[in-house]
Amino acid sequence: MIKADILPPTIITETAISLSKLYFSTKAGTLRCLYEFGLKYAKVLPQYSFSVKQWRESADSCLSGIERSFGKASLLIVRSSAIGEDGQNKSNAGAYLSLTNVQFDQLDHGIEKVIASYDNHHCESHHRKNHSCDNQVLVQPMLKNVIRSGVAFSHDPKTASPYHIYNWSDGEDTTMVTGGGVGHTWQSAACSSVPPPREIAQVCSLVDELTNLFQQPIDIEFAVSRTETGGEQVWLLQARPLVMPKRVESERTQTDRIQLISEKISQGMKPHPFLKGKSTIYGIMPDWNPAEIIGIRPKPLSLSLYKEVITDSIWAYQRHNYGYRNLRSFPLLIDYFGLPYIDVRVSFNSFIPAGLSDSLAEKLVDYYIEKLMGEPRHHDKVEFEIVHSCYTFDLHDRIQELKDFGFRHTDLDDLVNSLKGLTNRIIDPHKGLWKKDAAKLDSLKQRRARLAASDLDTIERIYWLLEDVKRYGTLPFAGLARAGFMAVQILRSLVAVGVLADRDFDCFMGSLHTVSGQLSRDRFTLGKNQFLAKYGHLRPGTYDILSPRYDETPDAYFDWSQKAHRSSDSPVFSLTLDQMKTIFRLMDTHDLSHDVVGLFDFIKSGIELREWSKFEFTRSISDVLQLIKHYGQLLDISEEDMAFCDISAFGKIFSSSIEPRKLLLNEIEQGKTRYEETMRTALPPLITRPEDAWSFYWPESTPSFITGKTVLASTETEVNPSQINGKIVFIPNADPGYDWLFTYPIAGLITAWGGMNSHMAIRAGELGIPAVIGSGQPLFHKWSHAKKICLYCAEGRVEIIA
């Protein structure tokens, strides 16, 4: 008879145990060692394990041993324990099969299925290290009364920083998280003094215990069961080395950096003499949403360029022009070691009409911030769900909640009257500032052409393109973007008061003439050269020098042999006579001083011009990046290195006689150092207290669902033109540089970042493509790992099919 018993972890010695340092073996060997060693903060289930060779030579002996250990009545879990699994250089996590809730009379079948997942059932070639005959099968009793389970890392597996990351779900299913469920995610710096959530406090202690025992980064699976006395018991289900691509960062280095961030946050949250509101919070998506535009970890050139042309000063200058409070000299975006955040107090101050009293402005900013803290899922929809920044037909209903927060009737009247006056001035078909802003775009095009035809050198062109794009590009775009947001809010309010139906809203959005729709049509009506002359400046990352333009790698974006795919004609929107009369009466009742036709002209123009103005100013941004790339070539500096420059370096070169290559190489060296720190740093999407720099939950976002359609399709995350037809495509942000996607018959679109009024949201609505915009990282990760999903846009949900 072949002896099949719990295999001893042969590489673990008594000497190693006595020195309180353990070594990883197979899954079965490591768990056996920890079972015998005895952990302080968790228990390990008993096990019975055997090799494939032992099973092949005497399956009956193995089954008899399992019966002696656990009996026939117990439900069992049959787990893989392969030689190539849980290794120091590769974990192969999830590569092999494990089966739960296996009854004893089905055990042999379950064992065979696990062995089959090793891909080799034979016993020749014994010299092979990963030969399947040396692989093991691990059998344990199923854990009962499970109330939560999950996984934990001692380090961030992407950055090798000492962040403890815990992902768990509530309930009996111990495979929920490892199988792709979202659950809860808590991240904490190794030296954080912030107490962890009660649900995982003992798991945190377990991670520390195991890290000390193995003296290296670890990855564990755990479960928590309810005891007979009503208490909780933590179980260690698996422990393996955490394989990471980078050198592990020291806890001291991380602590010093986080301390600086925490102190900066604390200082920024104090009262400011020139700002209303007692304190602030910081977010990656409110207002000029950097997560959508430049990403959550942009390289230094992208970050500094975005600050230069929009968030340092342009944003405030134009918002003041449109009738809001003067926030000039306040930068909207700050960064914590390169992670970009919007100062929400500054943003909310800028949405207050200039004519409101200081006392009411103070109350409003505090109220808006408190509301966002209570409803953080709206951090990417603050203009729609948090602040009142324009007059709408449902404003009176929406502001009633302010009464519950100490606002008086006179406060509400003052707010309504201020917003009404501001809105009437903006939507004026003759004097509205948006008309003048639209005209400035022609000046941008003319001046750009004159620069291109001039004899100015590369640095001079960079300087003047940047100056022009601020004055004639992003400045009018900031105004037209404000008009576009107001247009959508007014249109939505007509749905809210029952004048328009949801289908009317969708029909109106589908009837718009936007860049995306024109690009899709031009793709099949213009020749390749004509098409690229018009759209070649676009790139998926508007501010990213490393993102190729359409005209740099056109074949990577477009299949030029592709025939035009069938698409339904754009819907024709028109108001019925009754709707016209109702809106006319509403405008008279609400004292909106323009006619119905003028109002809808503003709504249509506001949304369309927002898109077209971005199309124009991004051409200048793209040209700047091309010139920077060219300048690097002249100095024998790669574009990869130029991505680490700060945009201010080119201003220094323009205005001084400094040696440019020396300056740029110094900038690049500093930029690389800073970016390494950027990659090692983690912060939550919304920072509400200084302690969030140390520990925080990763929240689920509330995505925006576009169209009311339902679509079931396979997923595509590689964004390869040859593979996206008929697929639901995943992209990180709602950048218009992804417009090329709409020249293909994709089934749907999902973005991690982006708001309900983002460019991709508008374009998907125009083209009638089902889309989920701004899903947030947890949901994006979950859905993108599915093979097939169904979007129920009308119901606002996504279902994983396979």
Whether 122 is catalytic: no
Task: Choose, from 131, 164, 537, 759, the residue flagged as catalytic.
Answer: 759
- Per-residue CA distances from 531 to 516, 528, 711, 766 (Å): 13, 5, 31, 21
For 73: left if phi > 0, alpha if psi spans -120 to 50, otherwise beta; the answer is: alpha
Measured in residues, the chain has a length of 802
In this predicted structure, what is the pLDDT of residue 149? Answer: 93
CA distance 518 to 506: 18
Residue 4 clears pLDDT 80, i.e. is over it: no
The pLDDT tens digits of the residues spanning 425-473 come to 999 888 888 989 999 999 999 999 999 999 999 999 999 999 999 999 9
In our burial notation (b when 16+ CB lie closer than 10 A, e otherwise), range 667-695 reads: bbeebeebbebbbbbbbbbbbbbbbbbbb
The pLDDT tens digits of the residues spanning 519-538 come to 888 988 999 999 999 999 99
When pLDDT is averaged across residues 504-521 and rounded to a whole number, the result is 87
28 and 116 in contact (C-beta within 8 Å)?
Answer: no
HEC-encoded secondary structure of 305-328: HHHHHHHCCHHHHHHHHCCECCCC
Specify the pairing of strand 339-343 against strand 282-283: antiparallel
For 180: left if phi > 0, alpha if psi spans -120 to 50, otherwise beta; the answer is: left
Among 516-520, 523-527, 760-764, the range of highest mean pLDDT: 523-527
When pLDDT is averaged across residues 359-388 and rounded to a whole number, the result is 94
> Which domains are delineated in the chain?
1-142 (3.30.1490), 143-249 (3.30.470.20), 261-512+578-631 (no CATH), 700-800 (3.50.30.10)
The pLDDT tens digits of the residues spanning 486-502 come to 999 999 999 999 999 99
Handedness of CA 54, 58, 62, 65 (dihedral sign): negative
Among 67-76, 253-262, 500-509, the range of highest mean pLDDT: 253-262
